[in-house]
Amino acid sequence: MPEHNSTTELKTTTDQARLRLSSLENLDDLETWRLEVLGRHGLLTNLMKGIGDLPNEIRKEFGQIANQERANLENAYTNRLLELKNTPNDTSGVDVSLPGRLPVRGALHPITQVRRQILDVFTRLGFTTIEGPEVEADSYNFGKLRIPPDHPARDMWDTFWLDGSHLDEKILLRTHTSPMQIRYMESHPEPPIRIAVPGRCYRYEATDATHEWMLEQVELLVIDQGITLANLKGTLQEWARQMFGADRKIMMRHSYFPFVEPGVEVAIDCFDCDGSDRSCGICRGSGWLELLGAGMVHPEIIAEAGYDPDVYSGFAAGMGVERVAMVLQGVTDIRHYHDNRHPFLSQF
Ligand SMILES: [Zn+2]
């Protein structure tokens, strides 16, 4: 039996719909197609509406074909829907030409970076890094460092006192890393000693561009036979070269710290100008930058630790990590470091 025109028309229509379906590239177009072809007022529904006008002998066959075609198209639709949903370059809601979002990248705090730089140099020079308690006993922070109660030097190191009423002596937040000199010597009966002690220290004082109530220090202690001021100078000279450049010179000037004799303040020559630029932001025209305090360990402290001061001598040095960082990083206000503001910190 030859196909009736209506049946041919039905097949042509569904073939075209199927062809269009396979060319659809996004979910919006697919939904439009679904409404036009399978929807309540879609193509197939319209074709079925004419079934009542068909001659009896082909009505049944037309109905069967139409139902079969609808089922086929619904299957094809479902498949295409799954395909488009699983295609990574589905462009229905995403502009694939946009640049990607960069992940947020973390970094070490600038003070941590500089502390590590400092310690790297001393590690290469043979120092061992150790740490000590931030809460200290009065005797370790002051007394054993030759700063008894009422000593005027205590005025330089006012600090935060803690409630130690249940203890034998007063406790405080350490004002420097020097207590670890004593603690380390007490626990090591025999020199040689060559240690670097990083850590936080606290001062009870008003803050300004160069003073903070919390700061990081790195302390050095060397004790051995025949250690002289020349060893101190050589060590710090080499450190300055590795931190600030091979041409750096250091200058030592006499200073006073109760636990060393003699005591020195150590400066490096300005690496930005040679002292000729009065407006130099780093040295203000002086040509030198004060960086740290140091000196030869007082013989009384060596004796107190149980070593023979006629056999052993040593040097100690303490530097503020923030101070070194400010010089290295060109930062003019120490308070920036612990403000925790991201725009500042993210520069490093
Ligand atoms: Zn300068």
40 band by pLDDT with thresholds 50, 70 and 90? confident
| Residue 347 among the catalytic residues | no
Given a cut of 80, is residue 253 above it in pLDDT?
yes
Question: What single-letter amino acid sits at 68?
Answer: Q
Question: Distance from the CA of 240 to the center of ligand 1, in angstroms?
Answer: 16
Question: Distance from the CA of 215 to the center of ligand 1, in angstroms?
Answer: 25
Closest CA to 22 of 80, 68, 74, 75: 80
What pLDDT, in 10s, does the model give residues 43-61? 888 888 878 888 888 888 8
In this structure, how many other beta carbons lie within 10 angstroms of the beta carbon of residue 85? 11
| Residue 217 among the catalytic residues | yes
Q: Is 12 helix (H, G, I), strand (E, B) or coil?
A: helix
Q: So what's the pLDDT on residue 87?
A: 72
Catalytic residue among 194, 217, 267, 305: 217
Give the C-alpha separation, 40 to 42, whole Å.
Answer: 6
| Residue 203 among the catalytic residues | yes
What pLDDT, in 10s, does the model give residues 195-221? 999 999 999 888 888 888 999 999 999
Q: So what's the pLDDT on residue 219?
A: 97
Distances (CA, A) of 257 to 179, 217, 293: 14, 16, 8
Question: Distance from the CA of 153 to the center of ligand 1, in angstroms?
Answer: 31
| Range ranked top by mean pLDDT from 67-71, 150-154, 238-242, 285-289 | 238-242
Q: So what's the pLDDT on residue 325?
A: 94
95 band by pLDDT with thresholds 50, 70 and 90? confident
According to CATH, the superfamily of the domain at 110-345 is Bira Bifunctional Protein; Domain 2 (3.30.930.10)
**pLDDT (average), residues 136-141:** 93
4 band by pLDDT with thresholds 50, 70 and 90? low
Given a cut of 70, is residue 183 above it in pLDDT?
yes
**pLDDT (average), residues 300-324:** 95
**pLDDT (average), residues 261-281:** 87
Q: So what's the pLDDT on residue 1?
A: 45
Q: CA dihedral defined by 328, 333, 335, 340, rounded to 10 degrees?
A: -70
Report domain extents, the chain. Answer: 5-86, 110-345
Question: Distance from the CA of 278 to the center of ligand 1, in angstroms?
Answer: 8
Question: Distance from the CA of 279 to the center of ligand 1, in angstroms?
Answer: 8
What share of the chain in percent tops pLDDT 70? 97
23 band by pLDDT with thresholds 50, 70 and 90? confident
Contact present, 269 and 288 (Cβ < 8 Å): yes
Whether this model's pTM surpasses 0.85: no
Question: Distance from the CA of 277 to the center of ligand 1, in angstroms?
Answer: 6
Catalytic residue among 114, 157, 324, 325: 157
Given a cut of 60, is residue 90 above it in pLDDT?
no
